[in-house]
Structure 1
Amino acid sequence: MYTSSDICGVNPIAALPFTAQGELDYTSFDRMLGHLAATGIQGLTLFGIASEFPKLEDSERLRLADQFIASLSGTGVFRAMSVTDHSTEVAVKRARDYQKRGADALMLLPPFFLQPDAAAISHHIFSVLEAVDIPVMVQYAPGETGLAITPEQLGEVAARYPHAVFKIECNPPVDYTREFLKRAPQASVLNGYAGLYMLEMLAAGGKGVMPGCSFSEIYVQIYHLWQTGKQQEAQALHGKLLPWIRRWMTHCEYIIQVEKTILYKRGIISTEYCRHPGWTLTAEDSEAIDTFIMEFSL
């Protein structure tokens, strides 16, 4: 059984492949999971924002959850699933169900629809944490949710629940993380946001990164260089990646579509389809993606 300290390293958010008609492509999904397991990642998370989770039917979600657990079984990759329900009661049921299905960890997106107050948000987070005993990555993504959580509030969560892990992706996240870790030095912190602040976060005490999944090999290489004391090489490779992810992270739907297109052009999934509403890439975007794939030998 995994503990909070095991949740580290490169833990991408799984994309969801669709057919050209917008139906889930379970064959491509299985092929993508096999590819990702072979890249050297430490973990993989399903139903994050990059998984287009708001665009799924409940029946699709359950089938994907079972396939995700089964396909990654025995690979050594920890399997996390995100609980995104806005009802506390439903989130608790979902968390227990995912643990029962075999998830090694959960990610929790706090509720933000209709702007619940701080007490309601704390109750939601605490309720889910108390419902399971596997690690739970509490997600802080104010740019996407419009929800502000202070370092003090997160510190209270860390103090009460040792199996909590924290995914911090405010922009920028570094000062926030330092403040949080002053209050909870024992806490494990990961960062999303396409890894824009990956090395700064590792230097600040972070334990890993949660980017998209279409070029996981690059993040794995950066992380390995950093962990083996080759900071200059890590910074050089990250610096080479930065202009690309800065451009694509100007809108969430933009980078979701870019990641899907990269997976398609690499032959990992069968189409680049994203469910609507989404983002339409330009011819210039497509040419840039070709250049990116060639430049990084993907």
Structure 2
Amino acid sequence: MARLTEGAKGVYVIAVTPFADDGALDFTSIDSMVDFYESVGVTGLTVLGQLGEAPKLTAKESRTVVERVLKRLDGRLPVVVGVSAPGLTPMQELAEAVMDQGAAGVMVAPPWTIKTDDQAFAFYQSVGEVLGDTPFVLQDYPLTTNVTIAPKVIDRIIKEVPNCVMLKHEDWPGLSKITALRAYSDKGETRRISILCGNGGLFLPEEMGRGADGAMTGFCYPEMMVGVVQAYSVGNVDRAHEIFDAYLPLARYEQQQGIGLAARKYVLAKRGVIKSAALRKPGAKLSPLDVKDVERLLARQKRRLQEIGA
């Protein structure tokens, strides 16, 4: 499999991790999930992300999940693997293992202990050194990590850490950050790296308008992200927003802290993508009223998609 580069574009969907009702890994559902993501036109997959319940997996399970996904894809799509860890040694160990298995690159979020710009730069400089020639994604998700990385710091990392090839942009609000980073590269002050955006795609049309290259996030209807990115790529901005608007109520519901992932898995199970909607404990469960909400949103979404011919 070709390695991740600065030119990456499209939709790298954040994959859920399917579990059986008893919490065991569901390998059959991993296969059907991979098939589904591929069928709806995603560019690549990202596994072991935060909403892939990566912290709930053992080190052995993490490698097994990656191996199963890569085997199912058989090189047809690139796979990025989340390898964030409290220390550089376990991060390096997992990164080496998944790259040997055929991953395209890895993703690294900063530890919560980072408090200053210099500390943020020093951390990613160390990540670059430890990973060697492995391309990596800088995950910028301050709402979860509590680490804010200013555009000037990201620009410094891009200049001095050559194997940082992508920014996973999840700052919120963060449109100005994309604008600032693109200004640096447009002026020739630094190289242009790929920017893929997260947050469930809630700001995807606006992010594309600011210079993002696509999405790296999860949603129970990844068709939305694929449609928005494809429409934007051919200059049909109005169609991109029309597609986005049809899915927005459900995407918004999915972004709730606590039950958001449970809602995503509920819909994926309902669609036959995975067998069980279970989260590994500790994990939220939808109440009957939550399910009623989701079902109402699905019905309204279906009608709207029919109206716009999507």
Could you tell me the TM-score, scaled by structure 1's length? 0.92
Q: Which amino acid aligns with 1:2?
A: R
1:91 and 1:57 mapped to 2: Cα distance? Answer: 14
2:206 and 2:119 mapped to 1: Cα distance? Answer: 32
User: Which residue of structure 1 lines up, in the alignment, with residue 97 of structure 2?
Assistant: 97
Please say if residues 79 and 103 of structure 1, whose CA atoms lie closer than 8 Å, have aligned partners that are also in contact.
yes
Q: Which amino acid aligns with 1:29?
A: I
1:90 and 1:116 mapped to 2: Cα distance? Answer: 22
Out of 217, 222, 238, the position equivalent to 2:228 is 222
**Farther off after superposition, 139-148 or 239-248:** 239-248
1:242–1:296: structure 2 CA closer, same or farther, 3 Å change rule?
closer
User: Which residue of structure 2 lines up, in the alignment, with residue 17 of structure 1?
Assistant: 18
Instruction: Trace 1:103-182 onto structure 2 (pairs within 5 A).
Output: 103-112=103-112, 114-115=113-114, 118-130=117-129, 131-163=131-163, 164-182=165-183
Out of 260, 269, 285, the position equivalent to 1:264 is 269
Could you tell me the TM-score, scaled by structure 2's length? 0.88
1:249-295: CA deviation from partner (whole Å, max 9, x where unpaired): 131x3221111111111111111101222223222321232234444
1:116–1:53: structure 2 CA closer, same or farther, 3 Å change rule?
farther
**Residue 11 of structure 1 aligns to a residue in which SS?**
strand
1:96-145: CA deviation from partner (whole Å, max 9, x where unpaired): 22212210121111222x45655444333223323243431100100001
User: Which residue of structure 2 lines up, in the alignment, with residue 48 of structure 1?
Assistant: 49
Q: Which amino acid aligns with 1:57?
A: T
User: Which residue of structure 2 lines up, in the alignment, with residue 276 of structure 1?
Assistant: 281
User: Which residue of structure 1 lines up, in the alignment, with residue 36 of structure 2?
Assistant: 35
1:286 and 1:28 mapped to 2: Cα distance? Answer: 22
Deviation of 1:180 after TM superposition, in Å, equals: 2.5
Please say if residues 208 and 229 of structure 2, whose CA atoms lie closer than 8 Å, have aligned partners that are also in contact.
no
Please say if residues 173 and 197 of structure 1, whose CA atoms lie closer than 8 Å, have aligned partners that are also in contact.
no
> Could you list the runs of 5+ residues in structure 2 that have no partner in the other structure?
187-191, 306-310
Please state if 1:287 is matched with 2:287. Answer: no
1:201-220: CA deviation from partner (whole Å, max 9, x where unpaired): 11111101122142111211
User: Which residue of structure 2 lines up, in the alignment, with residue 59 of structure 1?
Assistant: 60
Please say if residues 219 and 254 of structure 2, whose CA atoms lie closer than 8 Å, have aligned partners that are also in contact.
no
1:33 and 1:143 mapped to 2: Cα distance? Answer: 28
**Residue 44 of structure 1 aligns to a residue in which SS?**
strand
**Residue 230 of structure 2 aligns to a residue in which SS?**
helix
RMSD: 2.0
1:21 and 1:66 mapped to 2: Cα distance? Answer: 22
User: Which residue of structure 1 lines up, in the alignment, with residue 82 of structure 2?
Assistant: 82
**Residue 12 of structure 1 aligns to a residue in which SS?**
strand
Deviation of 1:18 after TM superposition, in Å, equals: 0.7
**Residue 16 of structure 1 aligns to a residue in which SS?**
coil
Deviation of 1:247 after TM superposition, in Å, equals: 3.0
Please say if residues 214 and 262 of structure 1, whose CA atoms lie closer than 8 Å, have aligned partners that are also in contact.
yes
Quick one: percent identity of the two aligned structures?
A: 25
User: Which residue of structure 2 lines up, in the alignment, with residue 191 of structure 1?
Assistant: 197
**Farther off after superposition, 118-127 or 47-56:** 118-127
1:45-104: CA deviation from partner (whole Å, max 9, x where unpaired): 0011110111111111111111111111232x2111011111022222222222122101
1:31–1:198: structure 2 CA closer, same or farther, 3 Å change rule?
same
2:46 and 2:177 mapped to 1: Cα distance? Answer: 23
1:132–1:97: structure 2 CA closer, same or farther, 3 Å change rule?
farther
1:135–1:213: structure 2 CA closer, same or farther, 3 Å change rule?
farther
* Equivalent residues, number: 295
> Could you list the runs of 5+ residues in structure 1 that have no partner in the other structure?
none
2:104 and 2:251 mapped to 1: Cα distance? Answer: 29
Q: Which amino acid aligns with 2:142?
A: P
Q: Which amino acid aligns with 1:68?
A: V
